[in-house]
Structure 1
Amino acid sequence: ELRNFKEIGAAYANTREALVVRGGCREDEPENFKEDEIAASRRAPLLLHIDGWRGLAHSYALVAASLVSELASRCGVRLSWSDATSPFGNDRHRSRVTTPLPPNVRVLPPGEVPPGAVVVRIAWPYNLTAPAGAARLLVFATAEHLGCPGRIAEGSPSWGTLAHGMAVPTRLLTPSLYSLEGLASCGVPRERIALAPHGVSPAAYAPLDAEQRARRRKKRGWEGRFVFLHVGAGTPNKNLKMLLQAFASVAHSVGRDGGDRDGGWWGGKGTLRPTGKQQSRPLLVLKGLEALYGSSAKAKEALQAISPPLSVDGPDADVEIIGAQLSAADMAAMYQSADAYVSASIAE
């Protein structure tokens, strides 16, 4: 709807006002960016401090690591980092994958920020209290089911406080208009919510050539299969039962020998042909995160309700469940090797 496009435009304007990264040192710099503006940005860099998680198997830690890595490649920005408090006290939430900070990022003790810095906090429970010396505070927040996120850190101002102004200018930072709507339901004025969709690195997620892709598929045991990939926690909002039931219909229509039982899948108009002309048996890969969500058990529980039944794991199975934590490079390889991505989420 046109109304939504207008709201997105307004939200982007709020984002630019809240956090302007002046200049850039990369080849993708706009052609009309004047050299004197670049020089000015170097003389007066933006002090930007990230208060985030490291060493946790959590999406917020991934967001923080990706953001600081991208900003470290820009000129006109002086970056620092401090480790935010984590509510997860046991070892199962520790990350098995190390993501070092870029060398030009200064690491400070928790709670300490450079005087006059813009602070971006990416952690949970949400804390709207600005650190001493901060010029501005942006708190990364996400809302599911178009509802207000429930948990605020002890001692933090409430969501509604943002409507009345705060001693340090404070805004929320969220990655989608859907999430923005949920945060607005908390009583947060829309002009206090900055919209900044997640980006993706085209260098890391570029398609592979045919030979590389074939090697990776062979290594994973995906040869001769049409691979549907789903990445998610397996929590109720991911709607695994609907996804599995839909996949069971596809798998049953193709048959174990790759033959077409019902005149094709997807209403008879589609074909499962990742390579060559032979129709391939479908495989659904459920990539979860066992350490944080116990996703494998959730997937197996959802499978019990599926008819016709689906086989799990093994060389000729219908469904493959992966619960291990993988590096960003390994995840990119998985996306590159699959034939289609599939999601049935009812809320994100």
Structure 2
Amino acid sequence: MRFLVEGWLSAPHSYTTVNQFQCLALLERSGLQLFHREQPLAHGWQPIAGQLDPERSRRLAQIPAPDGDPVDGLLRIDSPYRLEPDPIARRSFVFATAEFGKLHHEYWQWMGCAQKTSKWAAAGGDRGAVVLTPSAWSRQGLIHSGAAPDRVVVLPHGVDPQIYHPLATADRANLRRAWDWEGCQVLLNVGGTIPRKGGDLLILALGTVMERSPQLRWVLKANDAVYGRDRGRAAWVNQVRSLLPTDRAQRLLDRTIYLNKFLSYQDMAKLYQAADGYVSPYRAEGFNLPVLEAIGCGLPVICTQGGPTDEFTNPAFTLPIASQLIEKPVQYPDGVSETVWMWEPDCDALVDCLETWLDRPQWQTATRTAGPAWVQSRFTWDHAVDKLLSLVAQQP
């Protein structure tokens, strides 16, 4: 089988992570000839390197460019989306996500179709390519945006168990000792400075819970540095002080470790491996890969109920935050307004979940085996590639 990927291997974006690990899994398949064409970076981004170890990076760098001959399958994984099929491929696939229950106005602007009546058709979406998306929630959003239901397939993400796995007890203790986390209950969150990630709700909830839990620490891994911008700690501190009374705000600031620097996948895994829990009170996601990575490392997770994480979590290691699907009006700089859909977690329910997590140390211990076993049996990149190649093998 000849397979071509057109996408990002160096962009500061989650699509790069998906593409890197899928390509590495594809390289392991016998009888498959893989090609890759790097796509231009969007939005003035600068390329990044160092996410993977040198050997994996070398393997990706050695994937050949396409030779011009026909291929059995083509996968595009970049943005703006190019929905039209390519005649060089027997089957064409496009990776896309709809975090807000639809492709919002800015997506259509990037695709050059914002002024069109039938936007999906204008973008080439009715010409036969299959759209791959990582969750049923995202699939429904793409259908709402004009995609034909029989042309949108859910292809869940995965994790690499060689990177995302629990540490041995002694190794974990040594890591926590080195980071001065002994005797603490450490709660990790990734991306909480982005509004749709629900960081404001987490500030409010932790402001309450920390009053009775002096051992609780919050590790906030911000993503600003990865995307080449820095809203920075100062802006986050201002947000904390605007949301909480003075005493609660200072307590939370004193007990929070704010990280805003680039981390490799291996270093990111160490955060998961050393922490005691992961929390994600998100409002809008296409999948939410950090939740799955945390589960793979043995963490109990607290996350929004109703969204895409419902599709890969399990009560054995998950506390769901009761949430409500809401319509939210949005106004764009060009004057266009529209309604998007978001999950709004209940802040009191988030407080209850945090307190339950703190009060169940035996359950926390049990998740260290239950979560990784669940992930390794269902949600690795090998599972994702199995489904991808089965789709390529089907007749158009």
So what's the TM-score if we normalise by structure 1? 0.70
**In the aligned structure 1, how far is the partner of 2:258 from the partner of 2:216?**
14
Match status 1:306 vs 2:239: no
Give yes or no for contact 1:311–1:318 (8 Å, CA) kept in 2: yes
The 5 A counterparts of 1:18-33 are none
Indicate the residue corresponding to 1:159 in structure 2. 120
Which deviates further from its counterpart, 61-70 or 293-302?
293-302
Shift of 1:306: 2.2
The 5 A counterparts of 1:1-348 are 46-90=1-45, 93-97=46-50, 99=52, 100=57, 102=59, 106-108=63-65, 114-150=69-105, 151-152=107-108, 153-154=110-111, 158-160=119-121, 165-166=126-127, 169-232=128-191, 234-255=193-214, 281-291=215-225, 292=227, 294=230, 296-297=232-233, 299-304=236-241, 305-307=243-245, 308-311=248-251, 317-348=254-285
1:285 alignment partner AA: V
Shift of 1:155: 6.4
So what's the TM-score if we normalise by structure 2? 0.62
Q: 1:105 to 1:94 in 2, by over 3 A?
A: closer
Shift of 1:254: 2.1
Give yes or no for contact 2:193–2:222 (8 Å, CA) kept in 1: yes
**In the aligned structure 2, how far is the partner of 1:228 from the partner of 1:234?**
15
**In the aligned structure 2, how far is the partner of 1:254 from the partner of 1:312?**
11
**In the aligned structure 2, how far is the partner of 1:303 from the partner of 1:213?**
31
Give yes or no for contact 1:54–1:65 (8 Å, CA) kept in 2: yes
Task: State the superposition RMSD in angstroms.
Answer: 2.6
Moved runs in structure 1, 4+ residues, more than 4 A?
A: 152-158, 161-165
Shift of 1:59: 0.7
Q: Percent identity?
A: 29
3-state SS in 2 of match to 1:309: helix
3-state SS in 1 of match to 2:181: coil
**In the aligned structure 2, how far is the partner of 1:96 from the partner of 1:311?**
37
2:88 alignment partner AA: G
Shift of 1:253: 1.1
3-state SS in 2 of match to 1:143: coil
**In the aligned structure 2, how far is the partner of 1:104 from the partner of 1:54?**
9
Which deviates further from its counterpart, 144-153 or 196-205?
144-153
Give yes or no for contact 1:97–1:327 (8 Å, CA) kept in 2: yes
3-state SS in 2 of match to 1:254: coil
Q: 1:105 to 1:77 in 2, by over 3 A?
A: farther
Give yes or no for contact 2:125–2:147 (8 Å, CA) kept in 1: no
Say which structure, 1 or 2, has more relative contact order (CA 8 Å, 6+ apart).
Answer: 2
Q: Based on CA coordinates, which of the two structures has the bigger radius of gyration?
A: 1
Q: 1:87 to 1:286 in 2, by over 3 A?
A: same
2:16 alignment partner AA: A
Q: 1:252 to 1:194 in 2, by over 3 A?
A: same
Give yes or no for contact 2:94–2:131 (8 Å, CA) kept in 1: yes
Gaps of 5+ in 1: 1-45, 256-280
Indicate the residue corresponding to 2:288 in structure 1. none
**In the aligned structure 2, how far is the partner of 1:319 from the partner of 1:101?**
37
